[in-house]
Amino acid sequence: MRETFLPFAPPMIGEEEIEEVIDTLRSGWLTTGPKTRQFAADFTAYTQAPGALTVNSCTAALHLSLVSLGIGAGDEVITTPLTFAASVNVIEHVGARPVLADVEPDTLNIDPQKIEQAITPATKAIIAVHYAGHPVQLDAIRDIAERHNLHLIEDAAHAIGAAYKNQPIGSGSNPTCFSFYATKNLTTGEGGMLTGDDEFLDRARMLSLHGMSREAWSRYSAGGKWAYDIAAPGFKYNMTDIQAAIGLQQLRRFEAMQSRRREIVAQYQSAFANDPALQTPVCHEDVTHAWHLYVLRINESELTIERNQLIEAINARNIGTSVHFIPIHMHSYYANRYSWKPEDFPVAFGNFNRMVSLPLSAKMSDQDVADVIEAVTDVVAVSRRRAMVA
C-alpha cells in the first residue's frame, strides 16, 4: 500500500507556467490585457473555432451564452441530469426552466431520443454536456436543434482536446463553453473560454465586463480612450492576465499532457476490462475522447460491497477518488422545486450508484498508476462474490 496519499487530480504545473506568471507580474499588467488576448487567439487556433472569449469560469461562459441568446423567463432549456450543478444553475439564473433528458447507458451522455421526447413549445435551447470528455452525438443533436429551431450550447468543461468525426469540440459556430478549473486537463487555476461566431461573441464580450461598450484593457492601454458606455447590465466575468499566463504555457504542451493521459487510460483499460465485476468506459470510433475523467462502474451482482464501500476501501489504501456526478434531480433544491424523484431518470440514477472516478492526471507517475490498479484489484478480489458450491 502507498505510504503517501495520491490526490484525485493533481495539476501539472511546470517551470514554464511559473516563469510566464513572473513575467506577467513584472509587466505591470495583471488583469485582462495582452496575455488574455493572446490566450484567446491561441485557443481559437487550437480548437479551430470561429472565435474565443476568455472568461473567469465555464459557469460564466454558460451563463453568458444563455443571456446573449436572449433565453429567460418562460423558456425551457433541455440538459442532462448527469452533470455538475453549474450546467443547470445557470438556467435558473436567467429565469428559465431546466428540463432533464436521461443519458445513454454506454457513454453516459445525454440521449438524443430523450431530448426529442422532452421538447415542448416553450423549449428554446439544448445544453449538451460532453460527459467525462467523450463527445455527445453532435450530428443527431444538431439535427434536433435545427428541426425545432433551438439554440445548441455545448458544455465542454471536460472536452478540451476532444473531437467529433475529426472536428475539434469548439470548432462549430454555436456557443461552446470550456473550463480551466484546477482539476481540468488544461488549467489556469480558475477560468474558462467561450467559443462561437463573431456576432454572438460580440454580445457576450460586452456582457462579460459590466456591459461596457469598450473593453477595460483598451481603455487603459497606450492610446486608449477614457469614455465608455453601459449598453446592458452586464457581469464581471473577465479572465486576468495572471490566469492567461498559465493557460498560454499549458496550451503549448497540451498535446504532451494529453498523450500521458491516454497512456494512463490504456493501463487502466488493460487492467480492468476483463474483470466481470467492473465496467470500463467506452470510446466510440467516430470520436477523440479527451479523457478528463476515468469513470469505472461496478457490477453489483459480482461483489459483496456497494459503491460507497468500494470508495472507502480504495481511499483507505491512500488513493483519492471521486464520483461524477450526483445527478441533478437528486439535489434537494431541484428535487423540491420540480418534484423530481431518483427513478425519474433511471439510467442516470442507476449508473450513479455504480460509479467511481479514479485518479487521472498527466502528473501521475507509472508508480502512481500501478498503485491505483493494485488498490482497485485488491479491493475487488477480497470483495468478489463467490459462487455457491453444491
What is the CATH classification number for the domain harbouring 108? Answer: 3.40.640.10
Mean of the per-residue pLDDT values for the chain?
A: 96
Q: What is the pLDDT of residue 387?
A: 56
Do 99 and 246 lie in one domain? The reply is yes
Mean pLDDT of 185-201: 98
- Tell whether 194 is covered by a domain: yes
Q: What is the pLDDT of residue 343?
A: 98
Do 99 and 235 lie in one domain? The reply is yes
Could you confirm whether 184 is annotated as catalytic?
A: yes
Do residues 42 and 195 lie in contact, with contact meaning Cβ atoms separated by under 8 Å?
no
Domains of the chain: total = 2
Do 220 and 151 lie in one domain? The reply is yes
Q: What is the pLDDT of residue 388?
A: 42
Percent of the chain topping pLDDT 90:
94
**Domain final residue, candidates 187, 219, 252:** 252
Residue 97 pLDDT level (bands cut at 50, 70, 90): very high
Asked whether the predicted pLDDT for residue 154 surpasses 60, the reply is yes
- Tell whether 246 is covered by a domain: yes
**Domain final residue, candidates 252, 284, 317:** 252
Do 224 and 87 lie in one domain? The reply is yes
Do 126 and 199 lie in one domain? The reply is yes
Catalytic hit among 35, 114, 124, 184: 184
**Domain final residue, candidates 221, 252, 283:** 252
Do 21 and 63 lie in one domain? The reply is yes
- Tell whether 5 is covered by a domain: no
Residue 217 pLDDT level (bands cut at 50, 70, 90): low
Do 184 and 169 lie in one domain? The reply is yes
Entry pTM? 0.96
Asked whether the predicted pLDDT for residue 390 surpasses 60, the reply is no
Asked whether the predicted pLDDT for residue 43 surpasses 90, the reply is yes
Do 356 and 271 lie in one domain? The reply is yes
Do 377 and 228 lie in one domain? The reply is no
Do 222 and 176 lie in one domain? The reply is yes
- Tell whether 3 is covered by a domain: no
- Tell whether 9 is covered by a domain: no
Domain range holding 116?
15-252
pLDDT in tens, 6-15: 999 999 999 9
Asked whether the predicted pLDDT for residue 61 surpasses 60, the reply is yes
Residue 386 pLDDT level (bands cut at 50, 70, 90): confident
- Tell whether 305 is covered by a domain: yes
Do 234 and 314 lie in one domain? The reply is no
Q: What is the pLDDT of residue 228?
A: 83
Do residues 54 and 239 lie in contact, with contact meaning Cβ atoms separated by under 8 Å?
yes
Do 134 and 240 lie in one domain? The reply is yes
Q: What is the pLDDT of residue 223?
A: 64
